Every structure is written in C-alpha cells, then in structure tokens.
Structure 1
C-alpha cells in the first residue's frame, strides 16, 4: 500500500518564503503527520501561482489549506475554483468551498438563529431592504452589530448604536485601531451601501453585552471537539473613552472541565442541528474549524449559557496543540475511507 501524500498549503510569495516544516504555526502538525506514516508536502500559494499548482495538487491524497485571500484585499474566487477542481480529481480538501458557503459565512448566524445558540439576527439581501428595515431593529436592542457576509480579523464588523437625544448613530469598526464615529442617518447609509456592491447580504445581530465575560472558541475536527480557546478581551470590548487591545487567547484541551458543558452540547446536539439546517453531511464538515461563543451566564448549565458569535472554517490558525492528533486521525480516516 502506497503512503498517502498530504499537502499542507499556506500563503506566501514563493516556495522559499515559507514552509510548513519551519513555520511556527504548522511545524508541529507537519511533524506529527509525518510521524504517523503520512508523506507531507509543503505548498506555498498565492493567486499568481494557482495555474502552476493545478496539476501538482491533483496528485495528492489530501490537501489541508490555510490560505485566506481576504487578508490581502482579494476574494476567494481564484482559490475556490482551484480547490473545486482538485476536489473533483479525487483529492480530499480540508474545507470544501461548498461547505464554506453553507456554514463559513456570517449567514450561518441567520440560518441557525432558532437554535439554542441563536440570537436576534436579521438578514438584508440588498441595500434597499437594509434602508427600509434596519432602523426598526433598534426596538429590541439599542446597539446592533452589522456583519459583512465575509470578513476576517474584524474587517466588516461594526457596532452601531443609537445616540440618546440625537438623530445620528455612533459606529465602531471592529478592526484594530478604529475609533468611534458619529454619523448622520444619511451619512450612515451612504457608508454602508458599498457592502452590497458584490450582491452579498448583510447580517444584523443584536449587541451582546455579555462580551465582558470573554469569548470561548471551540475547535472541532469533523464532528468532534478538539480543544478550546478563551480570550478575555476581544474586539469591540466596552472600554469607555480609551480603547483597549485584545488580550491573549489561552488554549485548553477538549478534556478541560471548564468547557465540558460546551463540548457535550456541540457533540451531542449542536453540530447535528447545524448539519441538518445547513445541509452539510458529516464527511463534508471541515477537517479543522471553530465556533466562537459569547458566555451569557458563566454559572448556568443550560443550553442558553452560550450565544454563537461566528463560525470559522476556511483558515483556522493558530490552533491548540490538542487539535494536532485529532487532525491526524481525521485526515487518515478520510483518506482511507473508513
């Protein structure tokens, strides 16, 4: 039996720029896959190299992808076309582009709003609908969070609040270093019109004041929890006049008792519900993905303890050490067809 070949694809300008065998984020995983009897290839991707990579990638057994074109101001069209072609050639891709569309955009907040983890969420398919309905959403919450269909690192995430005694709105972008802006209604709508330019919807989620309890990130490999991350201060954390920087994320294994209730909810209830609502089969779940949750009540043991903030599926990095053996097991299972 031939040794399966696993490609690990990361962003870079050329093959000499980065390697998964030396990069701090991926070295331990590459070594673990090799120690498990898999042949690992380091692949550097950028859009200019997509055509040259097309044939070599089709000779792999599996392709693990850590590439996010949005970080460079590009979109995913070139990358997704390549991944679709590679997948059709029989290569297992860590996150299929179809799965990204189903659970890896902010739309998932709207599609799962009736689940235990759901919240008050609206979806605007176009700018006209946004102008018509957005103001009414303040009836249930004095602050809202507008989320672009796709984004990264806080880009495209905005806290919008009514200003007592004024007609305008205050707007705070979640991107690091942003400051609060005060806009008239006319200026506000003019600012957000361009978010609909590509024909993608805009998501409106109620502001969650429990952001002060921190954020827990649940890492999964397929349908099994692989670890957790906890971050006390995240983007949009209330800080008064002086902005505060996001704090460090601390990592924990899947066996951590602090989040045993979340592990149970995800594995026994929520992942199955997500698959059913969004039309995703178990083997189409990403090899590695995560879900971020607000902690609404640290002392509750009921499902309403957590509210979903977002799901990340296409470029999950860094990840806890506890996820490394789980990634290996999931890759080997899918490659062997077991």
Structure 2
C-alpha cells in the first residue's frame, strides 16, 4: 500500500506553450499516465526544451522517478543538454529510465558490433575513423556484396544507408548506388569517394559507423520486440520500405505498411520471445555490463528475418535497439511499464511504498 504516492515525471520534447498546457490527458502518453495512476503512482508531465532546461531540472529533482521519451536527433536538436541534466537527476538519487549511460551502451548502433557473437548477430564491422572507413570498406563491398552502413546515433532512418557497387568502366572512378533509410529518400548514384566524404561527419564527437550485410528478406517485414526490463511485453510487425530499391520505372517508394501490434503471447513470435528472455537479453547484459536494475523500463529490439536455418525455421537478425524514445507501444505495454516502475520503486524506496 502506498502511504504517499511517489511522483513520476514523464519527459518529452516540446516548446514553452506545450509545457504550459500539458496535462496527463492531452498527449500521446495518456495511457501510460493512466496506468501509472492505477498502480498508485502520481505521474506528471515534464515537457523539455533547452530554452527552459533549468526549470525542468528543478522539477525532476523534486520527483521520485523520471521516464524519458526524447529522440537523439529531432529537427536539428540533440540530447547534448538533456543527458547531463538527467545524469544530475540520477546522481541525486532519482530513478531515471532510460539513463543516458545505459543509452550509450544499448541504444546506439555500436551495440550491433559489440553483441555480434550473440545469436541475433551477423557479419558486422566497425569503423572508428574516416581513414579506416576509406581503407576497409571498398574491399569488403567488392567481396561480400551490398552492405548497410549505420551511423552510431540517430533515429527515423537518418544516417542508415544501403550501399551497392554500380557498373564502373575499367580504370575509372568507383561508383555506388546508395539509398538512405529516411522516409522519402530515393536512390543516388555517387562516386564512392564522394559518398565516403558525405559520411565523415558521422565520426564527429567519437562517433563511428557500423557495417552489416544487406538482408534480402527485408520485404518480409520487420519485427519490433517490445521489452520492459527483462520481459517481452509485446510485438509489432510492419512491412517496411526503408532500404528497398524502387522497381524499374518507379521513381519513388510507396509508404510502409502499418505496424500491427500483438501481445507478448502471440503464437507466431514465441520462438523470438523465448530467445529474447532466456538467451539474448541475458547475454547482452553480460556483454555490455548492464544489470537488471539499469535496463530501460521500456525498450525495443528491431529484427529482420535472416536466412532459414537447416530445418527451414526462421532466423532473426538484430538491426537496432531503441531506447531513447520507444513509442508507439502495444496496448498491454502501458500497464507493464507501470508495473515495472512500481517494482523498482519498491526495491529502491521501500519506505515510500
């Protein structure tokens, strides 16, 4: 029984007017507000922008826990101000999910390289400098076929490229066809040197580029596995168009299909659920040095279908982990978020609950 309801701040990006007008009911997170209240917690909006960051900091220092939904890139804005702010809040003893240091382990593309040995991994390489990228990428592209390059931090397909060799006259420059995963992108034919120069900004501020083979079952769709801590709380399956080259005579791609949500119990995904809960998540935690208390209260892993195994069963290839701003979510996930928040507060603040 809760003697004095712990306060939970829900953080998302918005301007001054959005902060002034925000209520638990008038935003896209309203179901999470509702379930936190049902669980006996006291949620409140905490709209963030750099313009009034000090005001948000004061608010967060006055609550018991913080749930954050802010993309790493958003109309030119980053989390360069927000992340240090959240570290201050966590250092002051407030529960912060996801903690910026956990995001830097899980919610970046480098995790694909660090966990390539896990069953979700494939032939994955990492370039830490532009010089390394220039030297190693072309031989790999020639030897192994189309590749997918991913900048370390981003969202909405920004900085994710399908790259394949184009017909090149002997002795001439090497041309590649590239397609970015950002919605509305169209294929481009570029000199490889020009494309590499375009990507050099990805190495700024200790950035890197991850290099993986293109998955030819992309048209079978992507499975988003929603997690709360160590437990699967739902799935989303979507037919995607990102990185799919238009057919001959078509200059642009149609929109991706809707993401169809499924509960954690959905039969088609039980093999994936078992592997996530019993194998892959524990192995990831061990590899990255993350304990159960630090896992995000809501996160997801995006999978593509890999080649069928020797028995004809589906395999799964991890294409990214999302931690910074996981939304939309299955209907059942809001209650699971509230349950996980209550459990963590009971462990960390038993005198409050």
The offset of 1:76, in angstroms, is 1.5
1:154 and 2:157 are equivalent in the alignment: yes
Residue in 1 that maps onto 2:281:
271
Residue in 2 that maps onto 1:88:
91
Q: Which moves more between the two structures, 71-80 or 320-329? A: 71-80
1:280 and 2:290 are equivalent in the alignment: yes
Structure 1: unaligned runs, 5 residues or longer: none
Contact 1:117 1:308 (8 Å CA) reproduced: yes
Residue in 1 that maps onto 2:232:
225
Question: 3-state SS of the aligned residue for 1:204?
Answer: strand
Q: Which moves more between the two structures, 169-178 or 264-273? A: 169-178
The offset of 1:139, in angstroms, is 4.4
Question: 3-state SS of the aligned residue for 2:20?
Answer: coil
Contact 1:12 1:18 (8 Å CA) reproduced: no
Question: 3-state SS of the aligned residue for 2:217?
Answer: helix
The offset of 1:53, in angstroms, is 1.6
Residue in 2 that maps onto 1:180:
187
Residue in 2 that maps onto 1:70:
73
Q: Give TM-score, length-normalised by structure 2.
A: 0.91
Q: CA separation in 1, counterparts of 2:72 and 2:210? A: 21
Contact 1:215 1:234 (8 Å CA) reproduced: no
Residues 207, 20 of structure 1: alpha-carbon distance in 2 compared, 3 angstrom cutoff: farther
Question: 3-state SS of the aligned residue for 2:9?
Answer: strand
1:57 and 2:73 are equivalent in the alignment: no
Superposed CA deviations along residues 72-115 of structure 1, whole A, max 9, x for unmatched, are 21222211001000001111111011100111100000001111
2:204 to 185, 188, 197: 197
Residue in 1 that maps onto 2:351:
none
Contact 1:7 1:40 (8 Å CA) reproduced: yes
Contact 2:146 2:163 (8 Å CA) reproduced: yes
Residue in 1 that maps onto 2:20:
16
Q: Give TM-score, length-normalised by structure 1.
A: 0.95
**CA RMSD between the two structures:** 1.8
Q: List, as ranges, runs of 4+ consecutive aligned residues in structure 1 with deviation greater than 6 Å.
A: 298-304
1:171 to 145, 165, 178: 178
Q: Which moves more between the two structures, 302-311 or 247-256? A: 302-311
Structure 2: unaligned runs, 5 residues or longer: 349-353
Contact 2:233 2:264 (8 Å CA) reproduced: yes
Residues 303, 113 of structure 1: alpha-carbon distance in 2 compared, 3 angstrom cutoff: farther
The offset of 1:11, in angstroms, is 1.2
1:259 and 2:259 are equivalent in the alignment: no
Contact 2:114 2:287 (8 Å CA) reproduced: yes
Q: CA separation in 2, counterparts of 1:235 and 1:95? A: 27
Contact 2:146 2:214 (8 Å CA) reproduced: yes
Residue in 1 that maps onto 2:4:
2
Residues 209, 121 of structure 1: alpha-carbon distance in 2 compared, 3 angstrom cutoff: same
Superposed CA deviations along residues 181-201 of structure 1, whole A, max 9, x for unmatched, are 111132222222222233311
Residues 299, 201 of structure 1: alpha-carbon distance in 2 compared, 3 angstrom cutoff: closer
The offset of 1:175, in angstroms, is 1.0
Superposed CA deviations along residues 288-329 of structure 1, whole A, max 9, x for unmatched, are 000000112579889971000100011101111111111011
Contact 1:162 1:169 (8 Å CA) reproduced: yes
How many residues are matched?
337
Which aligned pairs between 1:78-157 and structure 2 lie closer than 5 A? 78-157=81-160
Residues 270, 321 of structure 1: alpha-carbon distance in 2 compared, 3 angstrom cutoff: same
2:243 to 224, 236, 244: 236
The offset of 1:18, in angstroms, is 4.1
